[in-house]
Every structure is written in C-alpha cells, then in structure tokens.
C-alpha cells in the first residue's frame, strides 16, 4: 500500500470511529399504538396537542462524550388518538378550533415536562431506562379547568435483546416506546381515581341520563 | 492423493469436533401439575416473558419467541398467539404496570366484559409466563490476537460456562386457575482454542433449554403425562 493511500485509510477509520462513538445518536419513537381494551366512557372528549408537545425532543450529552437525542413529539398525536379513541365514545383532535365550538364534553391538554434516561454503562445493569413526566389538564366544555395532575411513565429495555451490530439506538428506542405505552396504561388506571375527574364524570353522565 | 479427499477428511474432522465439543450441554426439566389440562384444536396459547414491576429482571425476548416457535411447530404443534400481537390485542392489561402477578388475579380480568370477549375471539385457553435468564457462570483462559504487515493471527484458549434457568407458569384462562409449572435448566461449557485462527465450539445452552421447555409444554398441555 502506498503512503498516501495508507494515510487516507487511517483517517477514514478515525473519522468512522469518531462518528459512531462520539456523534449524536438519534432515537424516535414508533408511531403505532394499540387502542386500549376498556369500557368506553359515554362522552365526547377533545384533545389539544400544542406545537411544543408535537415537536418535543430531549438532547443530552453523557459523561462518555456521546450525545443522545430522543424525539418523542411525533409519537404524541398517534398516542393520544389511540388512547382517547379507546377510552371515550367519541374523540376529536382540536386543531385550532375554539373549545366552545368543538362539540365536546371536555378537553384534555397533555404536556411533557421532563424526560430522563439511563444507559447500562451508567447503572451497571443490562437495561436502558426511560422516565417521562407528563402533566395533564382537563378542561370542561367552556374551557374551565376541572383537574390537573402529573403522570410519570417508565419504560425499560434489556440491551441483551439488541446485541450484535445493532448498536444501542434500538434498545433505547424500545425503552422509550415502553415508557409511552406505560403512560397510556397509567393514564387509563389513574383517570378514574382523580377525585375532581370522578366528580366531573359523574356530573356529565348524570346530565346525559 | 487428490485435494478433494483431503478436504473431505478435514471437513469430517471439524464436523466431528463440533459435534463432540459443541454438544456439551446437560439439560433437566421438571414439572408440577396442579390441575388437569387438555386443549382443543381451536384453542390457542400465548407465551409471555415476565416483565412485572418492581422486579428489574426480564426474560430475553428471543427465548420467549423461541419457546413460542417450538410449541407452534412439530408433530404435536399447538396454536400459538405471538407475544406482541397478544399484548396489543389485550392492551393495556398485560403491560408491566398492569399485568396480573399470579393466577389469583385472573378472575378479575376474566370478569371484565371487553377482555373476556377478546380472549374468546382469540380462542385463548392458556397463558404461559416465562421467568428466568441465561447467565455466564464461569470463564477462564486467555486469547491474544495480533496483526502486522506480514499477517494476523490469534493464540490462546478460552473456556466459559453458561447456565440457563427458566420457569414457565401455566394459567388456565377458562377456569381462572394455575395449571402448573415447568422448569427447564441447561448447563454447558463452550471452548475457543486459537492457533492462528480461533475455532469457537459453542455449547447451545439457551436453545437446549428452549427446545426442552417447548417439548414439555406440548406434553403438559395435551396431558400426555
């Protein structure tokens, strides 16, 4: 091998190593979520998904020098469509429509407050872990606040399930997806247990009957 | 001698060595039966990996899918619903946060009309929960590889022991009870000698535990004890 060719090859190897080891690893959550199998609440629910939620992403540089970006925003609309389609008789995504004109009984306003994640290198385990902290507001048909509550969802994924040449991104993606599914499951379990929501549901269903 | 027989002899030696050294796996299977079982041709089962919280342990996904395939294939094959298909169809009731922890939780699930209807639609008869993992329990030896302009090569000897230990809990969805448990354990030692080229002789520990578990599940559910 002549010297210029050898040097070029060496530089290419260095650049490749740098790109794979130190570049930004991007992870986005798949956009398919199952419709929950629950008894539907006989109400029409709207959901307001603002721009901040739909473009939400978390970027963090770890001590190892590697930067991670977890993109959650694009998954939020399919997530809440599936969730509310399963939970309520009718659901509508309010796209700029004023609440009073939307012909809904209530409006859910979700927001992501924070995301944290950990890698196996940090925790000395085999798991990637993701925590997502949501905050929900429930508004009545006039836009008045009925209830507000936080929800922390958790997802983990065993790195050993994604061995070989797949890299770490699929394992973190699986943990983020698990956290999104956990958010849906927790929302379903929690929704009926919030006192202000219980009162509101009883009043709405009483008004209908 | 022509080159062909030499290649044939070498190939035979390597295949023989792989068979002898690669097959060092000891498997044991045990079952505990709590109720009578039986399965109709229209019935289905699902094999799920245990992921309940707050436990941090998760069964490997490929072991769960291996057992599913093992039960769903062969002469006595059963109808097996894929794990993800089942989790999506029953969402959110088998997610880590909400999944039933023991068979005593089954009646509560079966009591829910939408869940009962979906289970009936799927023809679900048994839920099999798999718990366990494969761990490396011992390792020894060393192996060094070098590369130079003149060539590359490795020299040394590595050996390691893997231990697979899995337990399947079988729940009868129709009666809402636990039908029994099957445990499958396999231990095997793998070797990698290297004289220029490393030759791995891998003991198929996990796949052995998987096929033993799958075969025993078929026998257990079809009550051929």
Residue B165, beta-bridge partner list: B133, B185
Asked if residue B156 is part of any domain, the answer here is yes
A5 at B interface, C-beta within 8 A: no
pLDDT above 80: residue B16:
no
Do B92 and A36 count as a contact with CB atoms less than 8 A apart?
yes
More confident residue, B187 or B110: B187
Do A182 and B91 count as a contact with CB atoms less than 8 A apart?
no
Question: What are the pLDDT digits (tens) for A81-104?
Answer: 999 999 999 999 998 777 777 789
Question: What are the pLDDT digits (tens) for B167-195?
Answer: 999 999 999 999 999 999 999 999 999 99
Question: What are the pLDDT digits (tens) for A114-134?
Answer: 999 999 988 888 889 999 999
H-helix or E-strand spanning residue B70 = helix B61-72
Determine the pLDDT at residue A208: 72
Measured CA to CA, the distance from residue B88 to residue B109 in angstroms comes to 16
More confident residue, B11 or A47: A47
Average pLDDT, chain B: 88
Q: Is residue A20 a contact partner of residue A64, using CB atoms and an 8 Å limit? A: no
* Confidence band, pLDDT 50/70/90 cuts, at residue A176: very high
A184 at B interface, C-beta within 8 A: yes
Determine the pLDDT at residue A101: 78
Please report, for chain A, the start and end positions of each structural domain, with discontinuous segments joined by +: 24-208
Measured CA to CA, the distance from residue B92 to residue B98 in angstroms comes to 7
Measured CA to CA, the distance from residue A148 to residue A164 in angstroms comes to 45
Q: How far is B3 from chain A (nearest CA, A)?
A: 33
Question: What are the pLDDT digits (tens) for A47-68?
Answer: 999 999 999 999 999 888 889 9
Asked if residue B137 is part of any domain, the answer here is yes
Determine the pLDDT at residue B7: 56
pLDDT above 70: residue A20:
no
What mean pLDDT do residues B128-134 have? 93
Quick one: angle between helices A169-191 and A73-87, nearest 10?
30
pLDDT above 90: residue B106:
no
Residue A130, beta-bridge partner list: A117, A155
Determine the pLDDT at residue B11: 53
CATH number at residue B138: 3.30.160
Determine the pLDDT at residue B102: 86
Determine the pLDDT at residue A14: 54
Determine the pLDDT at residue B9: 54
Do B58 and A156 count as a contact with CB atoms less than 8 A apart?
yes
Determine the pLDDT at residue A188: 97
Determine the pLDDT at residue A100: 77
In percent, how much of chain B has pLDDT > 90? 71
What mean pLDDT do residues B105-115 have? 88
What mean pLDDT do residues B27-54 have? 90
Q: Which residue of A has its CA nearest to B57?
A: A158
pLDDT above 90: residue A8:
no
Q: Is residue A111 a contact partner of residue A132, using CB atoms and an 8 Å limit? A: no
Calculate the alpha carbon distances from B101 to A30, A146, B52, B57 in Å.
28, 35, 7, 14
Low-confidence winner among A147-156, A173-182, B9-18, B89-98 (lowest mean pLDDT): B9-18
Determine the pLDDT at residue A163: 74
Determine the pLDDT at residue A168: 83
Low-confidence winner among A44-58, B17-31, B107-121, B166-180 (lowest mean pLDDT): B17-31
Question: What are the pLDDT digits (tens) for A149-162?
Answer: 999 999 999 888 88
Determine the pLDDT at residue A1: 47
Quick one: angle between helices B61-72 and B205-221, nearest 10?
50
Asked if residue B210 is part of any domain, the answer here is yes
Asked if residue B192 is part of any domain, the answer here is yes
Low-confidence winner among A6-10, A84-88, B121-125, B163-167 (lowest mean pLDDT): A6-10
Range of the domain at B36: 24-221
Which H, E and C letters describe B87-106, residue by residue? HHHCCCCCCCCCCCCCHHHH
Do A182 and B97 count as a contact with CB atoms less than 8 A apart?
yes
Straight-line distance from the first to the last Cα atom of chain A, in angstroms, rounded to the nearest whole number: 86
Q: How many domains does chain B have?
A: 1
Average pLDDT, chain A: 88
Q: Is residue A29 a contact partner of residue A173, using CB atoms and an 8 Å limit? A: yes
Q: Is residue B63 a contact partner of residue B100, using CB atoms and an 8 Å limit? A: no
More confident residue, A206 or A175: A175
Residue B130, beta-bridge partner list: B49, B168
Nearest to B174 by CA among B45, B71, B33, B53: B45
More confident residue, B138 or A19: B138
Q: Which residues of B touch A37 (CB under 8 A)?
A: 89-93, 114-115, 118
Asked if residue B8 is part of any domain, the answer here is no
Reduced to 3 states, what is the DSSP secondary structure of residue A62? Answer: coil
Asked if residue B72 is part of any domain, the answer here is yes
Asked if residue B19 is part of any domain, the answer here is no
Measured CA to CA, the distance from residue B56 to residue A126 in angstroms comes to 10
Q: Which CATH architecture has domain A24-208?
A: 2-Layer Sandwich (3.30)
Asked if residue B169 is part of any domain, the answer here is yes
A185 at B interface, C-beta within 8 A: yes
Q: Which among A127, A161, A181 has CB closest to B95?
A: A181
Determine the pLDDT at residue B1: 41
CA quadruple A119, B61, A75, A94: dihedral sign? negative
């Amino acid at each position: 091998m002549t010297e210029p060719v050898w040097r070029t090859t060496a530089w290419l190897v260095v650049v490749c190593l740098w790109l794979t080891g130190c570049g930004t690893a991007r992870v986005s959550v798949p956009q398919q979520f199952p419709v929950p199998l629950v008894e539907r609440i006989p109400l029409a629910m709207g959901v307001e998904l603002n721009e901040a939620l739909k473009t939400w992403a978390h970027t963090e540089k770890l001590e190892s020098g590697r930067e991670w970006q977890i993109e959650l925003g694009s998954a939020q609309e399919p997530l809440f469509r599936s969730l509310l389609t399963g939970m309520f008789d009718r659901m509508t995504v309010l796209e700029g429509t004023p609440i009073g004109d939307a012909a809904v009984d209530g409006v859910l306003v979700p927001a992501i407050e924070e995301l944290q994640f950990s890698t196996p290198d940090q925790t000395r385990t085999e798991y990637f872990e993701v925590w997502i902290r949501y905050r929900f507001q429930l508004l009545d048909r006039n836009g008045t606040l009925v209830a507000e509550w936080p929800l922390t969802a958790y997802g983990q994924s065993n790195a050993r399930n994604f061995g070989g040449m797949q890299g770490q991104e699929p394992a973190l993606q699986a943990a983020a997806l698990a956290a999104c599914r956990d958010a849906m499951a927790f929302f379903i379990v929690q929704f009926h247990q919030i006192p202000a929501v219980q009162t509101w549901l009883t009043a709405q269903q009483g008004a209908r009957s | 001698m022509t080159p062909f027989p030499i290649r044939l002899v070498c190939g035979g030696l390597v295949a023989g060595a792989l068979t002898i050294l690669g097959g060092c796996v000891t498997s044991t299977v045990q079952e505990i039966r709590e109720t009578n079982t039986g399965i109709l041709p229209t019935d289905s089962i699902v094999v799920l990996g245990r992921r309940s919280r707050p436990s941090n342990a998760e069964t490997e996904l490929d072991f769960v899918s291996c057992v599913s395939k093992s039960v769903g294939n062969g002469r006595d094959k059963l109808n097996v619903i894929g794990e993800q298909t089942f989790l999506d169809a029953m969402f959110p009731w088998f997610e880590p946060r909400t999944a039933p922890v023991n068979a005593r939780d089954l009646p509560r699930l079966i009591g829910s009309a939408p869940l009962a209807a979906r289970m009936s639609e799927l023809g679900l008869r048994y839920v099999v929960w798999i718990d366990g993992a494969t761990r490396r329990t011992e390792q020894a030896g060393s192996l060094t590889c070098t590369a130079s302009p003149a060539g590359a090569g490795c020299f040394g000897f590595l050996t390691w022991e893997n231990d697979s230990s899995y337990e399947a809990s079988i729940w009868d969805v129709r009666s809402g009870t636990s039908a029994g448990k099957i445990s499958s354990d396999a231990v095997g030692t793998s070797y990698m000698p290297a004289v220029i080229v490393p030759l791995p002789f891998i003991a198929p520990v996990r796949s052995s535990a998987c096929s033993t578990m799958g075969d025993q599940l078929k026998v257990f559910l079809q009550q051929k004890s």
